[in-house]
Structure 1
Amino acid sequence: MAQRTGGEPQIDGRSTRWDEHKAQRQVELVDAAVALIEEEGAQFRVQRLAERVGLPRSVLYRHFKDRASLDELIRRRVVESFVKRMEPTLTFDGTVEESVRRVVGAHLDWVAQHPRLYAYMGVADHAMGDGSLVADTKTAIAMMLSDRFGDVLKALGVKEAPIRSVAIGIVGFVDSAVNQWMRDPERELSEEELREMLCRSVWAVLDATLRGYGVVLSPNDRVADLEGA
């Protein structure tokens, strides 16, 4: 029991250890749920998760407020995986073309490798700005792109370009195209063809935007050289 000495409560070490154990157990259960979705699909049942971890369903639920809180933690874990894959690509190393391919490729690769997690997230049901975790993630990636684009443009002497709108448009376009491709039972493009189409389209948007401000670049220009211009 917590005792007061000098007006300050003392924390029971046993309680702290239990909280740590409960938090660690919750992480393990969320990991198991993610693995279950990867194997069996987005519409997983909590009973299957309980069987997988060897716990009665009632005991499993002691670690979560309800099914909605479990789903929220799973979504956060999936988003963490996606963002972890995307963040390193936003450094824009190499040429402009290589940078575009790296970003587009990371998005498409993650989705192709984790189709059931992608379906579980219900990406198509969330547009940027709707306040959901998925929407906030799309917006965060767009803002990271915007900041990086902005740095390059400032180095080129362009300070007033609507780069935030361009970045949001690019993320929305790539996301919509990939989502449609994933849902299409009769895909008109192979994964590699989709990758090429997306890269060409993203470059076309960037090129048109830059030309509107009097900047003409080659996709073979190195980003580091542009920033040092």
Structure 2
Amino acid sequence: MSSSPAPSPAARRTDGRAARWAGQRERRRREFVDAALRAVAAHGPEVSTEQIAEEAGVARTRLYKYFTDAADLQAAIADRVAELITAELAPAWNPHGTPMQAIAAAIGAHTTWLSEHGDLYRYLTMHSLSAQAGGRDAVTDVKTAIARNLTAVFEHYLALFGLDVRAAETVAFGLVGLVESSTSRWLENPRGVSRDELAGLLERWVWRIFDDTLRAGGVELDPDAPLPAPG
């Protein structure tokens, strides 16, 4: 069996340069996205490309050496915001303490992040639906990622209590939709409701939906008794 010929020195140099450029391009893209997050914080969700470039300390045309166009830059920023939101909720996928403590931790993390980074969330929603540019709906991506993680948590506990796990996904997606729509509307029009009041409402609603799901299967769970440790 014959072996493939070894690449020539010129080919190796070309490959090495391509790999270095790809790494440099990705690093610079991350740096520009970081600058964009700062620009959004300073100028609001309608920040311009010029303001992002100014924050990055480069000419606007320099950005397009690393991004195809404005839509590519906006998509990269939206992706980063989505990553931040998802990371903020990571502890919720390994709940500890009582059911109400676990729910409060997840709701508290989400509402706190939203109240502290409202303009980033508004930017995410403004630029998530860019079908004309072939973009993705970043808000839906975030909700789907959260709901899938929540589904796994629900499946674990439903199975632990000997219940049918088929409802886990429907309940998880429903709860995520409830929390996301309620908090995003509150962000735009709080109507005098404080963040703590909003969190308290959401905690009770989430518990009651999950509690109803358990009771339908004949299980009554004490909301203030420690949960079994996750598997």
TM-score interval, smaller chain: 0.7 to 0.9
- TM-score, normalized by length of structure 1? 0.88
1:64-114 deviation digits (Å, cap 9, x = unpaired) = 100000001101111111111111222111111101101111111110110
Residue 156 of structure 1: aligned partner: 161
Task: Write the mapping of 1:1-229 to structure 2, written as runs, cut at 5 A.
Answer: 6=6, 9-12=11-14, 13-122=16-125, 132-184=137-189, 187-224=191-228
Secondary structure at the residue paired with 2:159?
helix
Asked if structure 2 preserves the Cα contact closer than 8 Å seen for 1:89 and 1:106, the reply is no
Q: Any conservation in 1 of the 2:40–2:119 contact (CA below 8 Å)?
A: yes
> How far off its partner does 1:183 sit?
0.8
Identify if the C-alpha distance between structure 1 residues 169 and 124 changes in structure 2 by more than 3 Å, giving closer, same or farther: farther
Alpha-carbon contact 1:50-1:56 (below 8 Å) kept: yes
Instruction: Give the letter aligned to residue 215 of structure 1.
Output: V
Deviation at 1:5, TM superposition (A): 5.7
Q: Distance in 2 between matches of 1:148 and 1:29?
A: 36
| CA distance in structure 2 between the partners assigned to 1:30 and 1:123 by the alignment | 16
For normalisation by structure 2, the TM-score amounts to: 0.87
Amino acid at match of 2:223: P
Q: Distance in 2 between matches of 1:62 and 1:169?
A: 42
Aligned residues: 219
**Alpha-carbon RMSD:** 2.3
Q: Percent identity?
A: 33
The letter of the residue matching 1:21 is: Q
SS in 1 for 2:46: coil
Runs of 5+ in structure 1 lacking a partner?
none
